[in-house]
Amino acid sequence: MTTPILIATGNPGKLAEYTHLLADLPVEWHSLTDLGIRADVEETGTDFEANALLKAHEYGRRANMLTLADDSGLVVDALGGEPGVHSARYGGPGLDDAGRWRLLLDNLRGVPDEKRTARFVCTIAAVAPNGEAIITEGTLEGRIAHEGRGEHGFGYDPVFYLPERGVTLAELPPAQKNAISHRANAAAALRPYLIDMLTL
């Protein structure tokens, strides 16, 4: 017997990533699009956890099923944690992905390598129909490069440098990136709690 779970996204790529990361669970996965739910919950939280919980509770209420929602972004130490929860909106609505990471590089101009530390953060909220909520977080540590490199990935991947591998995230094949990503780490932490929730 499978349990229906809503992944609170309309992004088919994110749905595919979750179904891959949690493929062995007895689950029937649904997206907002599958259920005809509009992705219109405003992310008004001041941190990743607040936004993930906000979305999981609201979309879970609409779907009346166990719901996973995440919030993620890039935290740069030299910028006081920015862009953080504003990662997807950094610089305003007129910028695309490349525009946002170029702005980031401009804002880090003159900052030496050792002070360009950063991490991707992903917080997942799982909320059951009875209101029970579980929060997990995953991170991926790195540094901000001085220029963009690589053709894979999206967002800030071209400037997120992995010192131990000598490449940016955008230079890694998708399968390698997904094996070490902040979302993969958060999903791995969620797995045992999710198994418990499935047996409620």
- What CATH number corresponds to the domain at position 183? 3.90.950.10
Query: Catalytic residues, which ones?
Result: 71
Question: Are 9 and 19 contacting, i.e. CB atoms less than 8 angstroms apart?
Answer: no
Q: Per this entry, what is the length of the chain?
A: 200
* Residue-level pLDDT, tens digit, the chain, 200 residues: 789 999 999 888 788 888 888 988 999 999 999 999 988 898 899 999 999 999 999 999 999 999 999 999 999 999 999 999 999 899 998 999 999 999 999 999 999 999 999 999 999 999 999 999 999 999 999 999 999 999 988 899 999 999 999 999 999 998 899 899 999 999 999 999 998 888 75
Q: For position 200, what pLDDT does the model report? A: 58
Q: Which amino acid is at 148?
A: G
The torsion angles phi and psi of 104, rounded to 5 degrees, stand at: -60, -45
Question: Cα angle at 135 between 89 and 141, to 5 degrees?
Answer: 60
Q: What angle do CA 89, 135, 182 make, to 5 degrees?
A: 55
First to last CA, the chain: 13
- Output the pLDDT for position 121: 98
Q: Tokens 């997807």, residue?
A: 88
Q: Provide the domain count of the chain.
A: 1
Whole-number Å distance between alpha carbons of 194 and 124: 11
| Cα 178 from Cα 171, distance rounded (Å) | 13
3-class SS of residue 31: strand
Q: Which two tokens stand for residue 71?
A: 């919030």
Task: Give the range of the structural domain holding residue 80, as residue numbers without chain letter.
Answer: 3-198
Q: Which two tokens stand for residue 16?
A: 């595919």
Q: Report the distance separating Cα 2 and Cα 195, nearest Å.
A: 12
Are 38 and 11 a contacting pair, CB within 8 Å?
Answer: no
Q: Render the burial of 46-77: b for 16+ CB within 10 Å, e for the rest.
A: eebbbbbbbbbbbbbebbebbbbbbbbbbbbe
Torsion angle, alpha carbons of 20, 25, 26, 28, to 10: -30
Residue 103 amino acid letter: L
